[in-house]
Amino acid sequence: MALTGSCTRAAFAAPLIGASCVLVLLLAACEARTQAVAPADSGRALDPSESPQASAPAQTPSPASAPAPSPEGVYAMAAPLVSELRVVALPGRPGEYRIEVHGGGDPRDGAGVGADCRAVAEGPLAGDRIDAALQPFDSDLGGLEAGDLVDGPRVELQLQGDTARLQGAFAHCAMATVMAGSYRRTATPSLFLDCPPLPAACWNRD
């Protein structure tokens, strides 16, 4: 046990008679003094600035992912093209949609403009794409029978915001009919007018 200089001198200056008792008292006093001047131990309260929580960066909760917008609606090609398509959710088939396409020729082709043509396809939405199989249908512009679809031709509609890009081969349409290409969502359709989306295609609403 370490003693201060004053405590040591006082201990040796005590009378011989009763020295052991005095020495014990002096040692006890020196012990108390030593503890009084000892540095504070690690049990002291931490300054708020030293707290690990105070120095950690604030955690910002990540926002909940917004649901993807529905692809349903009517999309039109940019003028002077007149082609339109409509996307309709299929009841009783979650995540699946019908694509109805009414394609027209390019007016800039003059006398060689392609005839109008129609198509119907159905398939699931995966991410931002609808991979759809062409379906049999009938209309006043012609149609497709089940026998025409033995090879299972498919089309793909890629969605990005209000833009939809249709890809696929439409062998039953005239060569100059514009079916595949880029469409944009429109609130003022000119071909898909006043017809319920289901059960028949727009042109078979009667």
pLDDT tens sequence across 14-47:
444 454 544 444 455 545 555 554 444 455 555 5
Q: How many CA atoms lie within 13 A of 199 on its CB side?
A: 1
Two tokens at 173? 């349409």
The CA R_g of the chain, rounded to the nearest whole Å, is 44
pLDDT tens sequence across 59-103:
666 666 667 789 999 999 999 999 999 999 999 999 999 999 999
pLDDT tens sequence across 127-152:
999 999 999 998 888 889 999 898 88
| Residue whose tokens read 């082609």 | 83
* pTM greater than 0.85: no
Helices and strands per DSSP (H, E), number in the chain: 3, 9
Two tokens at 99? 């694509």
Phi/psi region, residue 205 (left: phi>0; alpha: psi -120 to 50; beta: rest), is alpha
